Amino acid sequence: MNDTVSGLLDAIEPVGRDPRSGGYRRPVLSTAELDLRSWFVQEAEKRGLGVETDRNGVIWAWWGEPGDGALVTGSHLDSVPGGGAFDGPLGVAAALVAVDRLRERGVQPARPFAVAVFPEEEGSRFGVACLGSRLMTGALDPDKARSLTDADGTTLADAYAKAGIDPHRLGRDDAALARIGQFVELHVEQGKGLIDLGRPVAIGSSILGHGRWKLTVTGIGNHAGTTAMRDRADPVVAAAEIVGLVAALARAEDDARATVGRFEPVPGGTNVIASRVDLWLDVRHPDDAVTRGLVDRIGAEAAGCAQRHGCKAAVVEESWSPTVGFDPALGRRLADLVPGAPVLASGAGHDAGILAAAVPSAMLFVRNPTGISHSPEEHVERSDADDSADVLADVLEGLL
């Protein structure tokens, strides 16, 4: 097999791509993501790997017989709205090519080995990031998962059923967890660490604690022409001020990051004073107590702000991931296998971070020359993408 990582990524380049912006929209179980899942199955079968989809929708491709204590590598194929081409697919393509490289080297796995693809890592359709790994580890209640809805009101249960995955079987999967002896996820770097260091690959040390909260501001819907300014309870005006407060409160806290990336006036009409605004907060800090404290302050200030505008504000947590450090012993093994690689903390969340609570996990990051991610500007040079499969193969060979 003489596939390269860049060649594999070229093959899926048009899938879910907006030709105007160049950004990708590949929500879990959408046509685009299902096309990518089929592409992965085809590529795995081309390599003689045995493919199965587990009860949480994770795709496994086994080299040899499935079994406990396997070495597992992989990533995800879904994207954020307007995302880049590499966030997720780079790790999946590198895993497939790493299998080719191991075979070329004559490696025969001495223990079970699999490539895994996790669903809804971004949470861009149903709101909970790393949904597949959270279900597998029991970090997400299956009843809660089944009732999550997308923007069109489709429940996750219906979306899974439509894709042929029985939603009644979702939930903690001890058999799947027992199969993962170690998990290694290769991923595009989503910041500037490797550019600053002038290096192509880093080893991950930790993932910044983060969570998502839905903030709802409720006012009184009315007519844009007949309602005097003094008579309004306009939630858009309150919510706009709240966005400014979020940024100001986060700036006052060292190392905190707070983002409002989604802001939806309801019903959303040019000549309509909205009755409600839904906005979503993403808040991150290395110290979980600081994140929680910051979210509490945002909630309190938002309530006061809403009240001044005759509105009400309420905050509901949608997901939470504490700061996690990757397995130190596995990290030391990776440092031996990728000599001289710098060690970087990740500000982004990953399935490896969720799995780390249950199994020894590690990450490799590949240089992104723009330092930008969750945007069409995200980039990996072809040579770095291709070389990443060799680095991953070195790591896998050493761990096998």
**Which residues of the shown chain bind ligand GLV in the complex (CB under 6 A)?**
122, 129, 348-349
88 binds, among ligand GLV, Mn ion, none (CB under 5 to 8 A by kind): Mn ion
Say how many residues touch Mn ion, by CB under 5 A: 2
**Which residue, 8 or 348, has its beta carbon nearer to ligand GLV?**
348
Q: 194 or 311: whose CB is closer to ligand GLV?
A: 194
CB of 225 to ligand GLV, least distance (A): 41
- The distance from CA 368 to its chain's CA centroid, rounded to whole angstroms, is 17
Residue 289 CB, shortest distance to Mn ion, in Å, is 25
Residue 142 or 349 having the CB closest to ligand GLV: 349
**Smallest separation, CB 349 to ligand GLV (Å):** 4
Question: Closer to ligand GLV at the Cβ: 265 or 353?
Answer: 353
- Residue 88 touching Mn ion (CB under 5 A): yes
User: Nearest approach, Cβ of 217 to ligand GLV (angstroms)?
Assistant: 23
Please choose which of ligand GLV, Mn ion, none residue 265 contacts, taking the beta carbon within 5 to 8 angstroms, the exact cut-off set by kind: none
Q: 249 touches which of Mn ion, ligand GLV, none (CB within 5 to 8 A by kind)?
A: none
Binding part of the chain for Mn ion, among 9-17, 83-91, 177-185, 224-232 by CB under 5 A, reads 83-91
Decide which of Mn ion, ligand GLV, none touches 185; Cβ closer than 5 to 8 Å per partner kind: none
Interaction partner, residue 98 (ligand GLV, Mn ion, none; CB < 5-8 Å by kind) = none
Residues 249-308 that bind Mn ion (CB under 5 A): none
Which residue, 62 or 326, has its beta carbon nearer to Mn ion?
326
CB of 374 to Mn ion, least distance (A): 6
C-beta of 331 vs 349, nearer to ligand GLV: 349
Report, in Å, the least distance between residue 291 CB and ligand GLV. 14
Residue 385 and residue 91: Cα distance in Å, rounded? 9
Closest CA to 358 of 335, 333, 327: 327
Q: Could you tell me the two tokens for 302? A: 């938002």
Number of Cβ within a 10 Å radius of residue 272: 15
Nearer to ligand GLV, 63 or 86 (CB): 86
Radius of gyration of the chain (CA): 22
- 292 to 257, 284, 356, 377: CA distances (angstroms): 12, 9, 22, 32
Q: What is the DSSP string of 74-88?
A: EEE----TTB-SSTT
As measured in angstroms, the least distance from the Cβ of 78 to Mn ion is: 9
CA-CA distance, 37 to 39, in Å (whole number)? Answer: 5
Contact 346, 207 (CB under 8 A): yes
HEC string of 106-148 equals: CCCCCCCEEEEEECCCCCCCCCCCCHHHHHHHCCCCHHHHHHC
Question: Which tokens is 290 given?
Answer: 């600081």
Return d(Cα 246, Cα 285) in angstroms, integer.
14
User: Taking CB within 5 to 8 Å according to partner kind, which of Mn ion, ligand GLV, none is near residue 129?
Assistant: ligand GLV
Rounded Cα distance, 178 and 89, in Å: 25
CB closer to ligand GLV out of 347 and 369: 347
> Alpha carbon 19 to chain centroid distance?
23
Query: CB of 80: closest distance to Mn ion in angstroms?
Result: 6
- Rule CB under 5 A: choose which of 33, 54, 87, 185 binds Mn ion: 87
CB atoms within 10 A of CB 25: 18
Which two three-digit tokens encode residue 349? 């969340």
Residues ≥6 apart with Cβ < 8 Å to 28: 78, 119, 120, 122, 124, 125, 126, 131, 159
Q: Which amino acid is at 359?
A: V
The entry of ligand GLV, Mn ion, none near residue 349 (CB within 5 to 8 angstroms by kind) is ligand GLV
Q: How far is the CB of 225 from Mn ion (least distance, A)?
A: 43
Identify which of residues 236 and 354 has a Cβ nearer to Mn ion in the complex: 354
User: Rounded to an integer, what is the distance from CA 224 to the centroid of its chain?
Assistant: 39
* Closer residue to ligand GLV in complex, CB, 313/348: 348
Report d(CA 136, CA 132) in Å as an integer.
6
* Nearest-CB residue for Mn ion: 87
The distance of closest approach from Cβ of residue 122 to ligand GLV in the complex, given in angstroms and rounded to an integer, is: 6
Residues that bind Mn ion (CB under 5 A): 87-88
